[in-house]
Amino acid sequence: MRGNVVDLAVGVIIGGAFGKIVSSLVTDIIMPPIGVLLGKVDFSNLYLNLSGTTYASLADAKAAGAATINYGLFINNVIDFVIMALVIFVLIKQVNRLRAPSPAPAAPTAKDCPYCFTAIPIKAVRCPHCTSELK
């Protein structure tokens, strides 16, 4: 039990650190080229303004306290999640592949007598309890 708790704690800590790395990968490396390909769009600055006033950027709208729907940040978070899910899926597949296969179940060593229903050795030709001949 103690080893599993320690493994879980280490996994949570490493997962949190890995999440920050993936977030940085998405916002700093993956999304800028995609934004350039889509017409020099900065995904982290995409939003819908619900207040009716125009603002130059999302930061200006937030500073003014305007109600916004930040769909660009949502897209970044979805890409973060997809990358994390893919990495975890691949990692679990590899761990399961490396795990030793479970041993085959042992062959039965006993059978039931069809007459008295007592457990007897599998090679027995006569039941030691009811003396019936077995086929």
Enumerate domains of the chain plus CATH numbers.
Answer: 2-98 (1.10.1200), 106-135 (no CATH)
Q: For the chain, list residues with pLDDT below 70.
A: 1-3
pTM: 0.59
pLDDT, residue 3, reads 62
DSSP 43: G
What residue type is 64 in one-letter code?
A
pLDDT, residue 2, reads 60
pLDDT, residue 111, reads 92
Whose structure tokens read 């080893």? 3
DSSP 105: P
Distance between CA 64 and CA 60 in Å, rounded?
6
pLDDT, residue 103, reads 80
List Cβ<8 Å contacts ≥24 apart for 83-88. 83/22, 83/25, 83/26, 84/18, 84/19, 84/22, 87/18, 87/22
Distance between CA 27 and CA 70 in Å, rounded?
15
Could you give the residue ranges of the DSSP H alpha helices within the chain?
A: 2-24, 31-37, 58-64, 71-98
pLDDT, residue 118, reads 92
